[in-house]
Every structure is written in C-alpha cells, then in structure tokens.
Structure 1
C-alpha cells in the first residue's frame, strides 16, 4: 500500500510541475518585443549558418538545394581518413591515380610509387587541395575510389546529410556527385570534433618532407584566405575550412569560426568569384556573432520551477523526489530575447538520467533542448556538485548575460500590475487544488480498502466460530 501511495505521489508531483507550465502555455500569448534578426543579402546561390553544438540554424538560403561541391568534398575524405587511419601509416600513389590527373587539376606533383604518411597526405589534401592525394587516401582506405565513395555516402548519412551523393573523393565534376549546403554543414560538424582536423585547417603553411620519390621538401599553402593575417579577407574569428572551385560548381566555401564561447559553421555555394565568396562568409559570421548568444536554461526558465520538497513531502519516505532542468543545458537565442519569450514543448521519453526533454522554439525555429531530470534528495548534493563543474564550460560573458537578464526580470516583476499578480496566484492555486483533490481521493480509496479488509476478516472469524 505504501508503494502504491508513493507512486501516486510521484504522479502528483509531475502533474504539479508540468501542470503549471501547461497552464501558462495555454493561457498566455507571449508578446515578442524583438523579431528574428534581419539576415544579410548574399550573392551565393545557396548558403547556411549553423551553431554546431545545438544544431541551431541561424540562416538559410536554398540550403536543401542539390549543388556541385567541388573541393569541399575533401572535408569528407579527411574525416574518413582521420577515423580509419593512423597518422604514421604509409600511403602509396598508384599509376592509375597519377594518370587520372588532368592538366589544370589541383595537385602537388606526386609520382607513381611515391610514399607519404597519412599526416602529410592530410595537409596536402586540405591546404593544397591535391586531387591525387584524395584518390591515394581513398585507395589506401577502401582499395578503390568507387568503394570509398560508398563509404563516403554511408558516413554522410550518419552525419545527418539528407540529399547528398558522392561519386569520388576529390570533388572533380561528376553529374552524380552533389551535396546541399545543409548537408555540408552536417559533415563539417562531424569533422570539427577531431583536434587533428582543427590543427590542419588552421595551418597556413606546411612543408612536405622528402621521401622515396621527392628529393626536395615541398611547401603546401592554405587556400582559405580568411586565416591569413596579411589577407584583405582576414577574420580573427575564423579557425579554418575548405575552398572549392570547378566551372560547374562555381566558388564554394565551408568555414568554421569561433568567438568566445560561440561556434559557427557557414557554407556558401556557387558564388561567382573569390571576393564574393569570402565577403558572403564574413557577412554570415558577423550576423551570427553580433546577433546571438548562449543562455543557460535552468537559470532563466522559471516557468518550470516548482518547490516539490516543500509542497509534497511524502509521509512514507525520506527519499523525496525532485524535478529539475539540466543545469548544463544552454540554448542559442537572439540577443535581448528572454527564455520566457520562447515557445516550449515537452516530450516525455526516458534518456539515461532524464525522463523528458523541453524543446525551445522561436516561431518555427528550433533553438535547442534541455533535459528534465528526476532526482531523489540523496542525489541532489551530488547533482549540484556535478552541475557546478559542468557549468564551468560556459564563459564569463554568458554569466554576465544571465546576471543581466535576471536583473531585468526583477525590474519587470516589480512593475507587474495587481491583475498580473491575481493571474499568477490563480496559476499556482489551480494545480494545488488539483493535487488536494487527488490526495483526498487516494485517502478515501485507502480507507475503503481498509474497511473492506476488516469486513472480510470479521466474516472469517464469524465462520470459524
């Protein structure tokens, strides 16, 4: 019986917690004081800007249109190489590979039978955009370019690509070789998880050493000009990326940038020349960095707050359950926008240490999610310790923003009218009344069951006489 009542009390706590949130959502229309930031005009035919940690899309222009990628294909080749090879492995350039390179194709002048380490190949691939190196890595990993293309397509799907088909490892034109701006952002998102990839794309110059065929060192230079401090396109926030060009694809560019705690990936495809591709990328990055910021959900979303320990202390157990929003969850929002201005939906699903997840949206734009955890009082202190450790990953800028938003919220609360207080009291009282009714019903059920048991026992004693 104690287990049954404890179960019902748990259900009541969930009703109380989410009942308040649902009452708020169903009775309040949030007046958004700020619209979504105005996006820049781009020359490129398709483009996208995403925040890779949450996957939030900040800007789109025909982002799901199939396009020819050119050499940004080599991001996928590099990703598969990092995931399938050791840096000191030897790669041999085949006769078929060398003979396939046409005049005008980007290359580093490799010879048949030349041996290079995987590390050297990756630098030649991503800096010099060497087409024979892409084929050499494909043959080293899969035995042939066709087999490697199948591996590329499988890995692209795993990364989240939806409308992509690779036919070769280097991006030379093939009618059956296409990607979308969205898919390239997903592939780049997978690649930047590897520190070695970040080191390579941030390098401006790398010298390939002598080997069995190369008698003198060969300098390999970065083609992404936004990381050169001497370039007119220099941007200190840019970590690196990959350029591409064919007559059919036009100029293509994938870029990863970081400012403070905010990461961004931009993709621009089919731009007409070098100036416009770098200018479009700069516009996208400035748009993201200047208009968006991280906020911590648990510190800013009071709609789901509930002092369950005070309201529902079980008389049958000292191990009280508590419902909390994951303190490490951060979402990206337009600056000067409060978390309370966002629309929310709650999905109930068991995921490790959580039983539900809140999705935050600004209109039709998904900004991120936060787990809802169900903790016992015994684990609260541990959770607090872990949370404080996790939260240290956010920067002082985010903390200052959170503090500023809290001060603004306090000022707004002081100016709240009496009618707002009345509505707020009603929102709190209604779920409490529901809880009281449920508790009364449970007590009645308990009393009736006890009476029934007593009558049965009395009948048995009467028969035994």
Structure 2
C-alpha cells in the first residue's frame, strides 16, 4: 500500500509541479576569462559547471592522469601492501622524466608509493602501482577506462597510469573535473594529496630515505602562487600536453574544482582567476534547507479517496546542493521531479528532483522513504549521477567539442610552437612523452587482487548489487522489505519467555530438593550401617530380621483371636529406635 501511495504521490507531483518556472532570474555571472585552451570551474558539491572553455574538447592530460591512478589504487589495494619494483616499471619511462629514484627490486608500501606518485609525480612509481594492482600496465588501463565510464566521462581514454603521451591517452576538461570530484570525496586521497611533505623510506639509491614535496605551488605558503583555501591538486607537463593543472579549494562555504588543459605558462594565473571568480560570485545552497516546495508532501492528504497520512515518511535527501549566483535565490531556479530513477539512486529513493538555472543544470536531490532510507543520505551518489546525467545539459549550454581526432590534430599543431616550462626551468615531467614500446608491461604479471582485473573492468561498471532490486510500479524502486508485526505477537512472545523462566526455576528447585533428599537417605544408610557394625550384625542379617518381622505382622492380621507373646528382640532395643 505504501508503494502505491508513493507512486500516486509522484504522479500528482509530476502533473502538478513538474516544472516550476523562475521569472526574472539574475543573469549567470560570466566576467572571467582564461588563456589556456581548455578549462572548467565546477562546484565540487553540486557538480554544477560554473564556467567552461572548450569544455568537451580533448587534450593530452600529462601527469594529472595520476589522480585517476591514485583513486583506483586506493579503492583496490590495502595501503600496507608491499609493492616490488620490476624492471618494466623502472625502465618503461622516458629518460629524464619525473622519478623517485627507485631501482629494480626496491620495495615500498602502497601508502609510500602514493605519496611518491602524487607529490613527486614519480612515473616509475605509477607503473609499479599499476602492476601491483592489476598485474600489468595494460590491465590497469582497462580499469582506468572502466572507472572513467562509471564516473560519467564520455570524452576520455587512458592508456597508461602516468600520463605519458600516447595517441590513445586523452581527456576533456569536463571529464577531468568529474574524476577530480570523485577523488576529493575520498578521504585517503585528500590526506595524501594535501600533504606539504612526506619522508620516503630508504631505498637502494637513497639509503637514508628522502623527503618529497608537492609540485602544486598554490599549496606552498612561501611560493608566490600560494592561494589560501587550496586543498590539493596535481600538476602536469609535456611538450605535447602543455601545462595541465587540477586544483581543489574550499572557502566561504564552497568547494570548487578547476581544471586547466594545454595551458601556456598561465596555468596558475588561470586557476587563480577561476577560483576568485567562483568564490566572489556564487554560493552553494543546501537543497533540503532552502527548498520547501516538496516538504508539503508530509501533510495529510487524500489521493483518489485514500488517506495518505503515511506520506509523512518521505523527506528530502540531506547534504545535496545547488549552485546559485550570490544575487539569486533557489526560487529563481527551475525544478523538475521524476520517478524514473537511475541505477546510482539511493535504495530508499522514490523520486529524483533536478534543478536548472536558465537551462544550466545546477544540482539534484532525491526524495527518500524515511523509514527505509534514514541512513541513505549520501550526497556522493547524487553528485556522481548528476555529473554524468548533467553532461548533456552542459553540452547544450557550453557547446559540444569536436571529434577526438580533430582535437588531437589541433593539439599536435599547437605543440609545434614548443612551449617551455612556466618558470623557464625543466618541466615537471621533462621528457614524459614516450612511444608505444615504452608502455609495454608484463601481460602475464600476477594480479594483486583475487579477481581477474580484466573481467572485473570489462563488466558493466555501473552494475551493482542493486540489480536484483528491479524497478516496480512504473519505475518506483523497492525501498526494502518491511515486516509489519502486530503488537499481540510481541505480547505472546513475552508471556512465553516469562513462562519459560518460571518453568526453568521450578525444575531447578525440584532438582535441588531431590538431590538433598538423596543425600539425606545416603547419610541415614551410612549411620545404620555403622550401628549394625557396632553390634556385630551385617546388613543382610538385619534385612532378614526385618523380613521376619513383616511376616509376623502379616500372620497377626490373619489370626486376630490369638495374641502372640511379646518377645524381646533386637528391634525392641530402645537405643536403636531412638537413633532411627
């Protein structure tokens, strides 16, 4: 019955409040520009794109690839696992590229390797982590593409864990923002990536160990590029990719992500301009606190003559956000409700509510069944789904990119100008680009996890254990099984429990009484035996005497007219009778 009422509620909301238009909404601020070829500014909480330039055009990512590598390793490996560096891991990199100085046979924990890869941008460490996780670099690339697809990426393909240039290794600003959004929701990733230094253990070339520092200058207070509020990020550079930079910063109740692709020594200034623009002009608004449009479902009402007081169990998902200009209110946004739920929806969801601002998707939330979904208020699933589902709306607003081959041709042409590092020094990844031969790995290497990584990655990444909970009643998801047990059942159970306790007590008492009586009989028998021994009579003789006495008593009853003479015997002994 509850599911039927929920379905009817959704139908009423769809027909009555499916679209709530916003009139005279303030314009979306746009007073910012960047010099990089591709860029994006995203609200990390809502997934809304605040600004985009060539949002869906593809570029070489260089070392910002390692964000995705780290996320996959964290999800598949134990941080205390030991990674052994193979010959392929050490030498399948270009000479002069970023390195942690590892040698064949060196060992480090996964945790140490992640610090070396994210802070030092060590390419041989990225290879070693890939081999440890999936058995080979090729197998790990399969996992990378599966994870990217799961996060909603549509313009990316990854061929190695380090970001070395390869015609089949590319991404877009929007896809990289989705990857960064997922990474900065992972506490382990944030802890490692936000570190200002880390001491690596001793290795063959560094017997005393050595300290690594982050390459992202906006984290360093003594650097001119320092930006208060930056949580972390990743730098990248090759001659073909140009400067690439991913940054996450939090300030004024907002958490923003920026991505810069094919920058021309302006990646830091472009990032600063985007962050200043976002923090100054926009706000993140909690949907459950700000939007009362759907809170009225808790009021008693009737649908088709049926009482619907049970609708009070519905509530808006917590910790879901929309992104709005500071001059706007949530009432200026357009909202739409749908009961056709995506696979990533929380198990207790009965409807999905999306928000747009002048045809720009700015966030989403779910209407949850409170009893079944009290613990389902996780904004992660909404944000990941919004990022994927919102791509089409963003493409309409920003303009879709051209084909991958055309964009890569443009990148290659632009790279001919030979841009150098931002500060004139050796770029972070040096000769990071390589050939296909440099990407070869041990295909038959042993996987570090029990399942076949290829089979795992080639399976539908969006499939989950919820597949058994198919949609019923025209798209309403099953919120779970609820047993409606009547109070009388619990009364019966309680009475039975009390009766069992009392019965157990009575049986215990009876046992103790019988045991005590048995002990007393045994004591009397022993005393009798001792007295018989004292007078020189055995137990058998005493029993025969008792038998004779019983026979005399029987004879007396059959011949009452003859009174036998009383004779004195052992049984007439006064002392014996007193002791009995």
TM-score by length of 1: 0.72
Other-structure match for 2:479? none
Q: 1:230 to 1:218 in 2, by over 3 A?
A: same
Residues 2-34 of structure 1, C-alpha deviations (whole Å, 9 max, x = no match):
x9xx99998886676565536x84xx76122x1
Q: 1:242 to 1:306 in 2, by over 3 A?
A: closer
- With over 3 angstroms needed to count, the CA separation of the structure-2 counterparts of 1:346 and 1:223, relative to structure 1, is same
One of 331, 335, 338 as aligned partner of 1:344: 335
CA distance in 2, matches of 1:129, 1:342: 42
What's the counterpart of residue 247 of structure 1? 239
Alpha-carbon distance in 1 for matches of 2:53, 2:149: 22
User: Match of 1:321, SS?
Assistant: helix
229-238 or 98-107, which deviates more: 98-107
Which shows bigger deviation, 345-354 or 231-240?
345-354
- Tell me if the contact between 2:45 and 2:321 (Cα under 8 Å) persists in the aligned partners: no
Q: Equivalent residue for 1:363?
A: 358
How do residues 377-396 of structure 1 correspond to structure 2 at under 5 angstroms?
A: none
Partner of 1:332: 323
Query: Equivalent residue for 2:57?
Result: 65
Instruction: Give the counterpart of 1:170 among 151, 157, 162.
Output: 162
Aligned to 2:99: 107
Residues 1:296 and 1:113: Cα distance change in structure 2 (over 3 Å)? closer
Q: Which residue of 2 aligns with 1:225?
A: 217
Deviation at 1:299, TM superposition (A): 4.4
Measure, in 2, the Cα distance between the counterparts of 1:317 and 1:286: 52
What's the CA shift for 1:237? 1.0
Answer whether contact 2:315 2:367 (CA < 8 A) is retained.
yes
Q: What per-residue deviation string (whole Å, max 9, x for no partner) do you get for residues 189-230 of structure 1?
A: 222222221111111221212145631222212100001111
In the TM superposition, residue 172 of structure 1 has moved relative to its aligned partner by 1.5
Q: 1:30 aligns with which of 11, 18, 23?
A: 23
SS in structure 1 of the partner of residue 331 of structure 2: helix
| Higher relative contact order, chain-length normalized (CA < 8 Å, sep 6+) | 2
Q: How far apart, in 1, do the equivalents of 2:15 and 2:84 lie?
A: 65
Q: CA deviation at 1:238?
A: 0.5
**Equivalent in 274, 280, 304 of residue 284 of structure 1:** 274
2:185 paired with 1:193? yes
Say if 1:308 and 1:322, in contact at 8 Å, map to a contact too: yes
Count of matched residue pairs: 373
Relative distance call for 1:236 and 1:311 in structure 2 (3 A) is same
Alignment deviations for residues 96-155 of structure 1 (CA, whole Å, 9 cap, x no partner): 332333332111221121111111111110111111111111122222212221221112
Contact 1:64 1:182 in 2 (8 A): yes
Distance change in 2, residues 1:314/1:77 (3 Å): closer
Tell me what 1:204 maps to. 196
Give the C-alpha shift of residue 232 in structure 1: 0.8
Secondary structure at the counterpart of residue 335 of structure 2? strand
The SS at the match of 2:366 is strand
Q: Deviations over 1:361-420 (max 9, x none)?
A: 111211112333567xxx7xx99xx69x999xxxxxxxxxxxxxxxxxxxxxxxxxxxxx
Provide Cα deviations, 1:287-335, integer angstroms capped at 9, x if missing partner. 2222221223344435556477466499986955348651624322111
1:132 match? 124
Alignment CA distance shift 1:104-1:326 (3 Å): same
- Does the 8 Å contact 1:296/1:327 carry over to 2? no
Greater radius of gyration (CA): 2
Name the SS of the counterpart of 2:59 in structure 1: coil
Q: Matches of 1:96 and 1:7 in 2, distance apart?
A: 57
How far apart, CA to CA, are the structure 2 residues paired with 1:372 and 1:335? 26
Matches within 5 A, 1:48-59: 48-59=40-51
1:218-274 deviations in whole A, cap 9, x for unaligned?
A: 22121000011111111111001100000000000011111243211110011111x
1:160 counterpart = 2:152 = yes
Structure 2 residue 119 is the aligned partner of structure 1 residue 123? no
| SS of residue paired to 1:349 | coil
Give me the CA root mean square deviation: 3.2
Tell which deviates more after alignment, 144-153 or 250-259: 144-153
Contact 2:6 2:350 in 1 (8 A): no
| Structure 1 residue 161: Cα displacement | 1.4
Q: Does 1:295 align with 2:279?
A: no
Q: 1:12 to 1:231 in 2, by over 3 A?
A: closer
Where does the alignment leave 5 or more consecutive residues of structure 2 unmatched? 380-580
Residues 85-94 or 327-336, more deviating: 327-336
User: Contact conserved, 2:10 with 2:338, CA < 8 A, in 1?
Assistant: no
Q: Does 92-101 or 12-21 show the bigger shift?
A: 12-21
Q: 1:456: which partner in 2?
A: none
- The 3-state SS of whatever aligns with 2:284 is strand
Q: 1:320 to 1:201 in 2, by over 3 A?
A: closer
> What secondary structure, in the 3-state scheme, does the structure 1 residue paired with 2:150 have?
helix
State how far apart, in whole Å, the 2-side matches of 1:20 and 1:65 are.
40
For structure 1, which segment, 211-220 or 63-72, has the greater mean C-alpha deviation from structure 2 after superposition? 211-220
1:12–1:243 Cα change, 3 Å: closer
Q: Which has the higher strand share?
A: 1
Equivalent residue, structure 2, for 1:413: none
In 2 relative to 1, CA 210–65 (structure 1 residues): closer, same or farther, beyond 3 Å? same
- Give the direction of change, closer, same or farther, for the CA distance of 1:54–1:211 in structure 2 (3 Å limit): same
Alpha-carbon contact 1:114-1:213 (below 8 Å) kept: no
Q: Is the 8 A contact 2:8 2:303 kept in 1?
A: no
